[in-house]
């Protein structure tokens, strides 16, 4: 699972480079994000701009990541493509996460 991680002040951005977060990679995703956010600042933005498919395993892996980061750090989501957004909406997980339309929106909010 390839991730691009950038730290800036109080937050870091984790950009997923794979197009799918599904059952085949859910465990690898969780482990990679965990490893990359070990010393992360209080807020972690998960950038999903490149992800075009997520299934229930991928959704579960993102929830697990949020739980792992809590309570010291918060996981924010950005750049959900339509099929990914749909899974969050159907499961109402969009009510659990703070979601930004684009990574830029998330960065603007964090820098403000």
Partner 1 sequence: MPSVHDNEQPKNAPDATSNPSEFSIEVISSTTATREALLQVIAGLAPIGLDPEDSETVELVLAEVLNNIVEHAYPEVGTVGAIHIRCRHLADGLHFRIRDFGNRMPDDKAPLGEMRSYDVDVEDLPEGGFGWFLIRDLAKDVHYSRIAGGNQLDLRIAVDYG
Binding site residues, partner 1, CB under 8 A = 20, 22-24, 53, 55-57, 59-61, 63-64, 66-67, 70-71, 82-83, 86-87, 90-93, 95-96
| Token couple for 13 | 């951005």
Q: What are phi and psi of 74, to 5 degrees?
A: -110, 145
Considering the complex, what minimum distance in angstroms separates the CB of residue 63 from partner 1?
5
Q: Where are the alpha helices (DSSP H) in 16-75?
A: 26-36, 56-69
C-beta closer to partner 1: residue 68 or 111? 68
First to last CA, the chain: 31
Burial of 74 (0-12, 13-18, 19+ CB in 10 A): middle
Considering the complex, what minimum distance in angstroms separates the CB of residue 100 from partner 1?
19
C-beta closer to partner 1: residue 38 or 92? 92
C-beta closer to partner 1: residue 72 or 112? 72
């Amino acid at each position: 699972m390839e991730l691009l991680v950038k730290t800036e002040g109080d937050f870091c951005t984790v950009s997923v480079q794979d197009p799918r977060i599904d059952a085949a990679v859910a465990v690898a995703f969780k482990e990679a994000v965990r490893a990359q956010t070990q010393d992360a600042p209080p807020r972690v933005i998960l950038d999903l701009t490149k992800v075009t498919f997520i299934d229930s395993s991928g959704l579960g892996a993102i929830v697990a990541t949020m739980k792992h980061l809590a309570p010291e750090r918060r996981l924010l989501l950005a750049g959900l493509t339509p099929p990914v957004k749909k899974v969050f909406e159907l499961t109402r997980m969009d009510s659990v996460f703070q979601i930004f339309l684009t990574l830029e929106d998330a960065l603007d909010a964090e820098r403000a």
